[in-house]
């Protein structure tokens, strides 16, 4: 059945919604695809739902193709399995928790590792049952701190999540590779530019992990890429190459010096160059060691100060730090914190006052660049004083290292040493070798060939289905509106009748009606603008805003036996004899459909 604009539940808007920061959000609302209910919670209107369903179809086809089996878990889940893996607490404020009438705890599932693991445990018991891959396309809930950009980051969203179950690591590798290949096909079909980057394997005992990022200037993820060797990684996952130990035989003993009026790294460096010139070259920001204190809030609510030492020319990157300390959350270390710990002299904190063994007892982690033998200027733990020639390994040690300093374009590639490039993207998919951590926590074991119980090894794989709709829109629009790739457009063709009404222009409407019917009979999905007493200008604007790839305009030139076919993506228009239009449209739709 053709969608008729005269009755379609749709109102396009001329004005941008006030809360829309990115083009996809603006256009999806204006073109009548989605409607906001509450922050991060959206209704899919008829046109939007059709796009969402088409994305689902692509994902479903490619999952079926690799032999994964679809099932559907509830979204409303009991607490116990999540308690068993520790995630009930680890999720902190990021999940929706609720109680039933008896006071029992439930949650709305943010992801379903626990449920899949238990289902396999419930039904399977032998290595002969493996390998197995299961998936669902389901609504997930996360109480995101910053829901954003419409359905791009929702609090309710649709995800395809799949899970693989194997008896050994080689099986897991195969399952992972199958998913990786399927994801490449999915994202190719969805029609956006993406990169595959190394991702954080997480604190949860996983090993290999990659993300599929749609390239987008306003994406929330930053990744780096090496133009020389092809290395690509989310900045969260970048490992700084540890420099070789350097000799400090010639470095004099550390000495504390008065450095008045040096509240910033720049003023400190200027002061050093004026009063304590270096023998080999001027002092630079990178010669100073900056010690930053943050507060970690653990899932159980306990708060822990953490000191991080980074070269003074680098900042702490919030996302990199967050990824390292997960599931703890990071908060600022405030005046109260300083007041409570006399060993910490604000602005002049040096390694001497840091570390679990020190007076402050604050755990101290260093950037890997602060390696054995490197020489630093840093706080002397006294107001107005810094210490010079403090050598790592000789004069101080820490509790360990941490990858929390920012990664910059030009930094050395961890793989080949060339300069890295940096860009932004939106996480569209994530594939992850979980290993045995969930199977162990929930007791998923099967009998192996020798009749011995073996813990099953698992992978978990996600695609943001609703996010994909926004992501495709983000990558396919112009100033006039959306420009859907054919495979996920809400319809194949938009037929526009531009006459006044059926009394004044009966031929136009009759012909448009006929073309719509014949196209439909050929299996082409049509959005038909059959509205009466709506000006051609409004109809054209709407067709551009809605963004169906092929637009057929039936109007005045019908008198001469001519109609117009417009290509929404290229803007190209051509006139064709009315008798050829169906064949032309069918060819266009079929021709570029894969």
Q: Which is nearer to ligand ATP, 8 or 197 (CB)?
A: 197
- Check: CB of residue 588 under 8 Å from CB of residue 550: yes
SS3 129: helix
Q: Which is nearer to ligand ATP, 117 or 498 (CB)?
A: 117
SS3 77: strand
Which 153-182 positions form the footprint of ligand ATP (CB under 6 A)? Answer: 153-154, 157, 159
| Member of 179, 225, 467, 568 binding ligand ATP (CB under 6 A) | 467
Euclidean distance between CA atoms 360 and 384, whole angstroms: 19
341's tokens: 């710990």
Q: Which does 429 bind (CB under 5 to 8 A by kind): ligand ATP, Mg ion, none?
A: ligand ATP
Q: Which does 283 bind (CB under 5 to 8 A by kind): ligand ATP, Mg ion, none?
A: none
Element (H, E) at 309: strand 303-311
Pick the stretch among 360-368, 425-433, 484-492, 533-541 that binds Mg ion (CB under 5 A).
425-433
Q: Which does 142 bind (CB under 5 to 8 A by kind): ligand ATP, Mg ion, none?
A: ligand ATP
Q: How far is the CB of 70 from ligand ATP (least distance, A)?
A: 17
15's tokens: 């004005």
26 is a site residue for Mg ion (CB under 5 A): no
Count Cβ atoms below 10 Å from residue 467 Cβ, excluding itself: 26
59 is a site residue for ligand ATP (CB under 6 A): no
Element (H, E) at 400: strand 400-401
Q: Which does 428 bind (CB under 5 to 8 A by kind): Mg ion, ligand ATP, none?
A: ligand ATP
| Member of 54, 112, 142, 314 binding ligand ATP (CB under 6 A) | 142
430 is a site residue for Mg ion (CB under 5 A): yes
Q: Which is nearer to ligand ATP, 309 or 435 (CB)?
A: 435
Q: Which is nearer to ligand ATP, 111 or 489 (CB)?
A: 111
Element (H, E) at 87: helix 87-90
479's CB contacts (< 8 A; 6+ apart) are none
- Check: CB of residue 316 under 8 Å from CB of residue 302: no
Count Cβ atoms below 10 Å from residue 260 Cβ, excluding itself: 9
Which 101-120 positions form the footprint of ligand ATP (CB under 6 A)? Answer: 111
6's CB contacts (< 8 A; 6+ apart) are 530, 531, 532
- Check: CB of residue 44 under 8 Å from CB of residue 52: yes
If binding means CB under 6 A, how many residues of this protein chain bind ligand ATP? 15
SS3 533: coil
Q: Which is nearer to Mg ion, 165 or 461 (CB)?
A: 461
Q: Which does 350 bind (CB under 5 to 8 A by kind): Mg ion, ligand ATP, none?
A: none
427 is a site residue for ligand ATP (CB under 6 A): yes
Pick the stretch among 309-317, 423-431, 473-481, 569-577 that binds Mg ion (CB under 5 A).
423-431
- Check: CB of residue 316 under 8 Å from CB of residue 406: yes
526's tokens: 């049509």
Q: Which residue is nearest to ligand ATP (CB)?
A: 464
Strand partners, 497: 554
Which stretches of the chain bind ligand ATP, using CB under 6 A?
111, 142, 144, 153-154, 157, 159, 427-430, 462, 464, 466-467
Which stretches of the chain bind Mg ion, using CB under 5 A?
430
């Amino acid at each position: 059945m053709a969608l008729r604009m005269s009755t379609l539940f749709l109102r396009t808007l001329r004005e941008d919604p006030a809360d829309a920061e990115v083009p996809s959000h603006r256009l999806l609302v204006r073109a009548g695809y989605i409607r906001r209910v509450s922050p991060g919670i959206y209704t899919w209107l008829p046109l939007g739902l059709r796009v969402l369903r088409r994305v689902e179809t692509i994902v479903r086809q490619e999952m079926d193709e690799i032999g994964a089996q679809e099932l559907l878990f509830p979204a409303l889940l009991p607490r116990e399995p999540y308690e068993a893996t520790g995630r009930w607490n680890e999720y902190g404020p990021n999940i929706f928790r609720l109680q039933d009438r008896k006071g029992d705890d439930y949650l709305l599932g943010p992801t379903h590792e626990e449920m899949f693991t238990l289902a396999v445990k419930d039904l399977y018991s032998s290595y002969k049952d493996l390998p197995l891959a299961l998936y669902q396309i389901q609504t997930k809930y996360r109480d995101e701190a910053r829901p954003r950009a419409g359905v791009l980051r929702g609090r309710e969203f649709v995800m395809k999540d799949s899970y693989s179950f194997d008896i050994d690591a080689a099986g897991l590798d195969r399952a992972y590779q199958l998913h990786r290949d399927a994801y490449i096909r999915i994202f190719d079909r969805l029609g956006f530019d993406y990169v595959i980057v190394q991702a954080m394997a997480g604190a949860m005992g996983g090993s290999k992990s990659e993300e599929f990022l749609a390239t987008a200037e306003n994406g929330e993820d930053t990744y780096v890429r090496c133009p020389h060797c092809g290395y690509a990684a989310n900045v969260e996952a970048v490992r700084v190459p540890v420099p070789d130990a350097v000799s400090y035989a010639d470095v004099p003993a550390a000495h504390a010096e008065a450095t008045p009026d040096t509240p910033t790294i720049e003023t400190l460096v200027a002061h050093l160059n004026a009063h304590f010139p270096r023998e080999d070259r001027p002092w630079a920001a990178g010669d100073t060691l900056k010690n930053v204190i943050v507060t970690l809030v653990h899932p159980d609510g306990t708060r822990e100060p953490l000191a991080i030492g980074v070269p003074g020319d680098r900042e702490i990157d919030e996302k990199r730090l967050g990824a390292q300390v997960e599931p703890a959350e990071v908060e600022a270390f405030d005046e109260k914190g300083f007041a409570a710990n006399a060993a910490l002299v604000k602005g002049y904190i040096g390694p001497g006052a840091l570390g679990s063994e020190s007076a402050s007892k604050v755990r101290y982690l260093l950037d890997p660049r602060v390696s054995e033998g490197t020489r630093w200027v840093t706080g002397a733990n006294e107001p107005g004083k810094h210490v010079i020639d403090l050598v790592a390994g000789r004069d101080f040690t820490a509790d360990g290292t941490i990858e929390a300093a920012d990664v910059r374009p030009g930094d050395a590639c961890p793989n080949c040493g060339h300069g890295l490039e940096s860009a932004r993207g939106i996480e569209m998919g994530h594939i992850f070798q979980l290993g045995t951590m969930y199977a162990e926590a929930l007791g998923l074991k099967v009998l192996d060939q020798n009749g011995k119980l073996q813990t099953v090894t698992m992978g978990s794989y996600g695609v943001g289905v609703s996010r994909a709709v926004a992501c495709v829109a983000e990558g396919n629009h112009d100033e006039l509106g959306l420009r859907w790739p054919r495979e996920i457009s809400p319809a194949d063709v938009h037929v526009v009748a531009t006459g006044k009404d059926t009394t004044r222009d009966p031929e136009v409407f009759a012909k448009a009606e006929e073309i719509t019917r014949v196209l439909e009979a050929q299996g082409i999905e049509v959005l038909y603008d059959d509205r009466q007493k709506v000006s051609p200008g409004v109809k054209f604007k709407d067709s551009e805003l809605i963004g169906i790839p092929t637009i057929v305009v039936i109007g005045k030139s019908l008198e001469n036996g001519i109609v117009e076919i417009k290509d929404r993506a290229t803007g190209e228009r051509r006139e064709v004899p009315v008798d050829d239009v169906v064949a032309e449209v069918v060819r266009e739709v079929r021709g570029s459909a894969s």
